[in-house]
Amino acid sequence: MRILIVGGGGREHALAWKLSQSPRRPQLWCAPGNAGIASLATCAEIAADNVPVLLEFARKQNIDLVVVGPEAALAAGIVDAFQERGMRIFGPTREAAELESSKSWCKNLFRKHNIPSAGFRAFDRFDDAARYVERTPHPVVVKADGIAAGKGVTVCRTPVESMAAIGAAMKDRVFGKAGDRVLIEEFLAGEEVSVLALTDGQTIAMLDSAQDHKRINDGDEGPNTGGMGAYSPAPVFSEELAARTAREVFVPIVHAMREERRPYKGVLYAGLMLTRSGPKVLEINARFGDPETQPLMMRLRTDLLDLIDAVIDGKLSKADLEWDPDPAVCVVAASGGYPGEIKKGLEIRGLEDAGRVPGVQVFHAGTVLKGERILTAGGRVLGVTAKGATHSAARDAAYRAMSAIQFDGIHYRRDIGLRAIRSPAV
Ligand code: AMP
Ligand code: GLY
């Protein structure tokens, strides 16, 4: 079995790590990969959204199965292109992935099908958006409609802040065309949780819960990032909430997508706000989360390859997901300056020592191999992930490993997973 993993971040390293443990002993390729993935897979220098070159590569290498990591590839129609040529690929089609790539399309679907989510208005003109925020009670949330690498969302406390956010998206076009349309959403208060489900278009299989840490600094301060750390499970997400989320969120989405003639296969990632009136969807992603996938893969006992096959073949109703009850915690090491401008090419030291801490896996994100040395190559550099008997033990192990790692300007949060320890299950 020859598998090509598309992407090159921490999520793809965790997927490659898990797939490499399949009893079916697959051979792995990855495009573009990173220095960590290179120890498990043959990496090819092809951008994740360069669909024609990926097709050619997959043909030449006789790839049996493609597993897609990032949203950019899905939005570029990678699944459609491979399916048209009769090749096996895991992920939603371009139209189905609009759940993520167009927030307004997604929100309209929610409205039509009564899926719980924040109230919203969409605007294509700056003047209309500006007039609206002037007379709307705050806080509100301003979102770029398209894909903006997790950075297109601003919580605004005052109309002045909203005006600045709208101006940045629509006038300065800091997100390019992703910000030509903006959504202005009702602000929801509560605890956030990431819940992922596999679906074959008919059945859903929910994964265990996880919690992300989106802001750059401790105490959830500073700008939003792609995610600075995650843990699984999230103690606040009780079995009752899980059942409710399946019933009110995932099942209705899968039905709605069938009705819209965009049947959805792959991973549905729901960013949920647990409000006083129940779980509400903040966003849907059409893929595995990063960094949630790192702790999730460390806890998943079931063979991921079997699950992927069940999704593609429409046999998910027969699948059974087994989890290690031990929690896992992932702490992200970022480059200095992230999520703003960063330097690349800095040497990373201490990876071997970090990897020797019991229960630890160091997943690579933005890294590159240069001769014998491993250098930084992106904003999020590593995801130091540990499993332990408790959240606290897993956290301690992850931070012990992190303290062995050095590169110029390294930045990581010290409070990843603390919430799981402080907030008992409800
Ligand atoms: P998103 O990329 O849509 O998940 O948004 C990024 C972050 O912004 C979320 O993780 C939330 O912390 C926050 N956020 C997004 N939408 C809302 C909302 N309607 N109410 C409150 N916070 C929100
Ligand atoms: N961790 C957030 C995301 O993957 O979008």
CATH number, domain containing residue 53? 3.40.50.20
CB 385 within 8 A of CB 57: no
What's the order of all strands across the beta sheet hosting 191-199? 204-206, 191-199, 266-275, 278-285
pLDDT in tens, 39-96: 999 999 999 999 999 999 999 999 999 999 999 999 999 999 999 999 999 999 999 9
Return the best residue to mutate from 147, 155, 215 for the ligand 1 pocket (most ligand atoms within 8 A of CB).
Answer: 155
My answer on whether 34 and 145 are in the same domain is no
> Which range of residues forms the domain containing residue 381?
328-422
**Could you give the 3-state DSSP secondary structure of residue 260?**
coil
196 and 174 together in one domain: no
User: E strands of 47-203, at which residues?
Assistant: 65-68, 89-90, 120-123, 140-144, 153-156, 182-186, 191-199
pLDDT band at 426, cuts 50/70/90?
Answer: very low
Identify whether 117 is part of a domain.
Answer: no
Ligand 1 pocket test: pick from 141, 187, 193 the residue with the most ligand atoms within 8 Å of its Cβ: 141
- The predicted model gives 11-18 an average pLDDT of 98
Residue 9 and residue 58 in one domain: yes
Q: Are residues 136 and 156 in the same domain?
A: yes
What is the C-alpha to C-alpha distance for residues 119 and 233, in angstroms, rounded to an integer?
29
- Spatial contact of 333 and 410, defined as CB atoms under 8 Å apart: yes
CATH number of domain containing 152: 3.30.1490.20
Same domain, 203 and 303: yes
Distance from residue 282's CA to the centre of ligand 1 (Å): 6
Same-domain pairing of 202 and 313: yes
Percent of the chain at pLDDT exceeding 70: 99
pLDDT in tens, 288-325: 999 999 999 999 999 999 999 999 999 999 999 999 99
Q: Same structural domain for residues 6 and 82?
A: yes
Q: With respect to residue 112, please indicate whether it lies within any of the assigned structural domains.
A: no
Q: What is the dihedral of CA 124, 130, 132, 137, to 10 degrees?
A: 130
**149 confidence band (pLDDT: 50, 70, 90):** low
**How many folded domains does the chain comprise?**
4
